[in-house]
């Protein structure tokens, strides 16, 4: 039984992957305090590290064509263990969605609308995501290229406008950081912008052709990673070592744009682009959470769960961390450690077990 | 006559929302959907009420931080 009838194409998957990773552009700040001027390296290293795991997601989608994560878990691990593992995934989806809603709230509270009540910002944003999710995955997929183009436009235009203020000696010295900080940086980058793509486990089942899913997923990941790299290079080249002292390095670097005293205060561009991209990312998380829960409960549709889930996520977002410092400290340690088994262990393990047990057996065959 | 305050509007809005979402599954006799909606709605309402009344809501991440970093000692060295 499928709780979603919509279908998406391979190119739409590519744009969804790219937009999803772009939505984490502000989260690169989590590594800046740890890896400083070498953040660009950990972005690339994290990308390389995540490639085999993304390939395993695509291989699972191809093997279990039309099935979502909860159905795959039930088939591979059995009804009881499968449900337990699905609950773990659902907890991850729920927590990560609340963090992303909180990110938007903090973005608006700190930089754009400081006098607006925080809970109101969260509620309005969650309601917008709920509306998008209610329209279905097809609608989100159809507009995904617009989100990606908007993100690329803002990053490229701000990069060009800041070229005169860039000092590439800010990247020196190379390889001076202790290895453990590089490893932590790679762990953060691979777990947050790239590892969160396991949300596509709930989406890849909707692909109308899974034959080239791996190529589209990797292409989207690469586009998203190049955007993160451009953001990191821009911030380091403009701000240098001072980037680690700002609340948001991206906002601070964009504020330095001053072209003939006419083009100034361009930080609204980051505000607009990030709102759009985080909206897209949260909508995908929301969709995955609603469909996973509906599948777990054995419902015919995920629509009845959307509004209650939005309410729960808003309250979670408002209460999960006491302050932005608390947010950063917990995310840099427990936040990335608790999600590690889901990102690095269970998808290859599921694939291995499916291969050994020749799953999904005789049901397989609807490859295209 | 008493005027309609913010809390009254919120309450009316909640009731309207509840009715509009209940009517679909009820008409189609989808009892499982109806039960799931009511359970999730009750959780959302309970959490919302706790938030409004300033009752501390336990943070799952605080619990994980305690378990992973403090009890199991799994954490990266601080700078």
Identify all chain B residues contacting A120, using CB atoms and an 8 Å cutoff.
none
* Residues of chain B found within 8 Å of residue A181, distances taken between Cβ atoms: 79
pLDDT value at residue B28:
81
Question: Does A88 score more than 80 pLDDT?
Answer: yes
Q: Do A95 and B65 touch (CB under 8 A)?
A: no
Contact list, A297 vs chain B (CB under 8 Å): 32, 36
User: What does the pLDDT read at residue A297?
Assistant: 93
pLDDT at B32 over 60: yes
Residue A148 lies in a domain: yes
Rounded to a whole number of angstroms, the distance from the CA of B3 to the nearest CA of chain A is 23
CA distance A198 to A266: 33
From A184, which residue of chain B is nearest by alpha-carbon distance? B76
Residue A365 in domain = no
Provide the greatest CA pair distance for chain A: 69
Q: How far apart, in Å, are the Cα atoms of A271 and each of A100, A141, A156, A200?
A: 15, 23, 15, 26
Q: How far is CA A260 from CA A161, A257, A327, A353, in A?
A: 11, 10, 38, 62
Q: What is the mean pLDDT of residues A138-161?
A: 94
List, for residues A10-24, the tens digit of each pLDDT value: 999 999 999 999 999
**Chain A partners within 8 Å of B65 (Cβ):** 330, 333-334
More confident residue, A44 or A261: A44
What is the least distance, in Å, from the CA of B62 to any CA of chain A? 8
User: Can you give the pLDDT at residue A1?
Assistant: 59
Q: Is A306 on the interface with B (CB under 8 A)?
A: no
How close B12 comes to chain A (CA, Å)?
Answer: 16
Indicate whether A343 belongs to any domain. Answer: yes
User: Which of A54-68, A233-247, A277-291, B8-22 bottoms out in mean pLDDT, i.e. has the lowest?
Assistant: B8-22
Amino acid A366: pLDDT: 43
Q: What is the complex's ipTM, to 2 decimals?
A: 0.88
| CA-wise closest residue to A199 among A331, A303, A66, A347 | A347
Alpha helical stretches, state H, chain A: 10-22, 29-35, 39-63, 69-77, 79-107, 118-135, 137-161, 179-189, 213-239, 249-255, 267-297, 303-319, 324-330, 336-338, 340, 347-356
Position A53 in a domain: yes
Q: Are A333 and B45 a contacting pair at CB < 8 A?
A: no
For Cα atoms A306, B39, A140, give the angle at the middle one, nearest 5 degrees: 10
Q: Looking at the predicted structure, is the pLDDT value of residue A296 above 80? A: yes
Chain A hits for B60, CB-CB cut-off 8 Å, are 91, 95, 316, 320
Lowest mean pLDDT among A56-65, A94-103, A353-362: A353-362
Residue A363 domain-assigned (yes or no): no
Question: A93, A282 in Cβ contact below 8 A?
Answer: no
Residue A4 within a domain: no
| Structure-token pair, residue A198 | 């396991």
Q: How many domains does chain A have?
A: 1
Task: Examine residue A230 and state whether it is found in any structural domain, yes or no.
Answer: yes
Residue A207's beta-bridge partner residues?
Answer: A8
Place of tokens 């070498």: A38
Q: What is the pLDDT of residue A344?
A: 94
pLDDT tier at A110 (50, 70, 90 boundaries)?
A: confident
- Rounded CA-CA distance A151/A270 in Å is 9
Q: Nearest Cβ partner of A330 from B32, B48, B65?
A: B65
Alpha-carbon span A294 to A302, nearest angstrom = 5
**Mean pLDDT confidence for A41-50:** 94
Q: How confident is the model at residue B8 (pLDDT cuts 50, 70, 90)?
A: low
Q: What is the mean pLDDT of residues A49-60?
A: 93
Q: What is residue B2's predicted lDDT score, i.e. its pLDDT?
A: 45
pLDDT of B4 over the 70 cut = no
Could you tell me the CATH number of the domain that includes residue A171? 1.10.4160.10
A336 in any annotated domain: yes
Residues of chain A above pLDDT 70, percent: 98
**Least CA distance to A297: which residue of chain B?**
B36
Q: For residue A8, give the 3-state DSSP assignment.
A: strand
Cβ of A315 and B48 within 8 Å? yes
Domain of A60?
A: 10-348
Distance (Å, whole) CA A284 – CA A286: 5
Q: In terms of pLDDT, which residue wins out, A353 or A326?
A: A353
Cα–Cα dist A250/A227, whole Å: 13
Distance CA A31, CA A182 (A): 9
More reliable by pLDDT, B8 or A152: A152
């Amino acid at each position: 039984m499928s709780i979603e009838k919509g279908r998406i194409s391979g190119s739409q998957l590519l744009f969804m992957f790219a937009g999803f990773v772009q939505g984490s552009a502000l989260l690169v700040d989590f590594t800046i305090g740890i890896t400083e001027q070498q953040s660009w390296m950990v972005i690339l290293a994290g990308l390389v590290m995540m490639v085999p795991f993304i390939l395993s997601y695509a291989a699972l989608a191809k093997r279990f064509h039309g099935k979502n994560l909860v159905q795959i878990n039930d088939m591979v691990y059995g009804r009881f263990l499968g449900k337990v593992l699905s609950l773990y995934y659902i907890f991850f989806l729920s927590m990560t969605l609340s963090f992303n809603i909180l990110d938007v709230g903090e973005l608006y509270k700190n930089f754009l609308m400081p006098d607006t009540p925080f809970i109101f910002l969260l509620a309005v944003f969650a309601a917008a995501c709920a509306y998008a999710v209610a329209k279905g995955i097809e609608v989100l997929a159809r507009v995904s290229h617009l989100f990606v183009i908007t993100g690329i436009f803002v990053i490229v235009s701000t990069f060009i406008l800041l070229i005169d203020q860039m000092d590439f000696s800010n990247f020196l010295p190379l390889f001076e950081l202790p290895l453990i900080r590089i490893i932590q940086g790679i762990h953060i980058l691979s777990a947050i912008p790239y590892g969160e793509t396991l949300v596509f486990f709930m989406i890849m089942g909707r692909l109308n052709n899974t034959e080239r899913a791996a190529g589209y997923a990797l292409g989207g990941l690469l586009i998203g990673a190049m955007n993160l790299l451009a953001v990191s290079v821009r911030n380091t080249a403009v701000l240098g070592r001072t980037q680690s002292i700002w609340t948001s390095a991206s906002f601070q670097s964009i504020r330095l744009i001053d072209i003939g005293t006419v083009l100034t205060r361009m930080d609204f561009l980051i505000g607009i682009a990030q709102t759009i991209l985080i909206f897209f990312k949260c909508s995908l998380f929301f969709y995955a959470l609603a469909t996973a829960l509906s599948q777990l409960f054995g419902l015919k549709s995920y629509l009845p769960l959307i509004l209650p889930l939005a309410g729960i996520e808003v309250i979670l977002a408002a209460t999960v961390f006491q302050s932005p410092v608390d947010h950063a400290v917990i995310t840099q340690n427990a936040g990335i450690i608790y999600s590690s088994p889901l990102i690095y262990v269970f998808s290859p393990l599921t694939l291995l077990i499916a291969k050994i047990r020749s799953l999904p057996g005789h049901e397989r065959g609807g490859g295209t | 006559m008493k005027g309609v305050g913010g809390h009254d509007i919120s309450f009316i809005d909640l009731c309207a929302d509840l009715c509009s979402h209940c009517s679909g599954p009820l008409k189609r006799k989808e009892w499982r959907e109806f039960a799931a909606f009511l359970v999730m709605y009750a959780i959302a309402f309970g959490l919302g009420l706790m938030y409004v009344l300033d009752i501390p809501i336990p943070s799952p991440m605080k619990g994980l931080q305690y378990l992973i970093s403090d009890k199991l000692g799994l954490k990266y060295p601080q700078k």
